[in-house]
Homo-oligomer: A and B are copies of this chain.
Amino acid sequence: MSRPTMDTVAERAGVSRALVSLVMNDSPKVSDAKRTAVLQAAAALGYLPNLHARSLAQQRTKTFGIIINDIHNPFFAEVVSGIEAAADEHGFSVLILNGGRDPGRERRAVETHLQFQVEALILVGTRLDDDELEQASRVAPTVIVASGPDHPGVDTITANDTIGAALAVDHLVALGHTDIVHLDGGDNISSRPRAAGFARAMRAAGLEPRVVRAGDGEADAEAAVVQLVEEEAVPTAIFAFNDLLAAGVLDVLESAGLRVPDDVSVVGYDNTFIAQLNHMSLTAVDQPRRKMGELAVQTMLERIEDNRTKPTNLDLAPTLAVRGSTGPPRHDGTTR
């Protein structure tokens, strides 16, 4: 008692398999009588079309493959929402695979998606290098949602990190800070451009940039901040790679007996709901996540339907959400 196929439905409705196919793809050239007969038979049998067979016959899947770099990070959730909404609107399905912040896993995820014949790849954050990206993009159009260096042939949707970092730095400088440390994102693809933006904004303000390697998870804050504390090199302000890291920073600072923002100001990046919680009240750079997801879909559609060939690199402008984790530095210039 396996699942009913088109032939089962056809037989029950007393028509040919081709006619059932026409009904399933609601073609206009089917008589009402036969249409209802087919639909009834299908419903009675609980018939569901086999997508594998359809894809094979049709030579297309109308499906996008999404790979999320880190399913734990709320930043990605909203990008995915944007992608899903836009894809849905254009009759595309969306398959999600988890990169797990691990290049090996992500590589396998790409391969799985390609084997599934997805029509485009949307990488929401990525850990892959240029070669791998280029290779993937030769098989299916690929777009990266996240900032990072431009890749040949690969489309990108970014929110400008230079502007974002400048927003954070200028805000802190305006409050009177001069000793600002950036905790970078480690292996994250956006780590470099964001750190570069920070350095540039600092120099523009006549200040010396200090960057400490960290990572893109809340756990990555520990080592970096503890080191600063032990070296007695705690600055008056910390600009963290993202909200998760910033949340970790708040934790560690608190454990070390430092108060935010009295002793240290903290700025996050992404403005996820973590930053928005009153209890966190984290000043953070905001990226238009949903919009970025929507644009990713649009970009891929241009490749697929209008066969655009030159790469697109859309760069959106971030904004700053000011909250309670930033304030003027202590007058004596120390952190204690």
B-binding residues in A (CB < 8 A): 3, 46, 48-53, 55-56, 61, 71-72, 74, 77-78, 80-81, 84, 93-98, 100, 111-112, 114-117, 135, 138-139, 218, 247, 250-251, 254-255, 273-274, 277-280
Contacts and interface: CB of A to CB of B under 8 A. Distances in A.
Contacts of A98: 80-81, 84, 96
A269 B170 CA distance: 39
A117 B50 contact: yes
A139 B47 CA distance: 10
Contacts of A61: 52
Contacts of A81: 71, 98, 100
A114 B52 CA distance: 11
A277 B247 contact: yes
Given A98-B80, A255-B278, A139 B71 contact: no
Nearest to A56: B52
A273 B273 CA distance: 13
B50 A53 contact: no
A77 B72 contact: yes
A88 to B, nearest CB: 9
How many copies are assembled? 2
Nearest to A140: B3
B51 A115 contact: yes
Contact of A254 (B93, B97, B279): B279
A77 B71 contact: yes
Nearest to A273: B218
30 contacts: A3-B139, A46-B139, A48-B115, A48-B139, A49-B115, A50-B117, A51-B52, A51-B112, A51-B115, A52-B116, A52-B117, A71-B71, A71-B77, A72-B74, A72-B77, A72-B78, A80-B98, A94-B97, A95-B95, A96-B96, A218-B277, A247-B279, A250-B278, A251-B278, A254-B278, A274-B274, A277-B280, A279-B279, A279-B280, A280-B280
A247 B273 CA distance: 10
A51 B117 contact: yes
Given A72-B74, A278-B250, A279-B247, A48 B114 contact: yes
A304 to B, nearest CB: 14
B46 A50 contact: no
A244 to B, nearest CB: 8
A80 B100 CA distance: 11
A97 B84 CA distance: 10
Contacts of A50: 56, 115, 117
B71 A80 contact: yes
Nearest to A272: B72
B111 A48 contact: yes
Contacts of A251: 277-279
Contacts of A3: 139
Nearest to A274: B274
Contacts of A96: 95-98
Contacts of A56: 50, 52-53, 56
Contacts of A115: 48-51
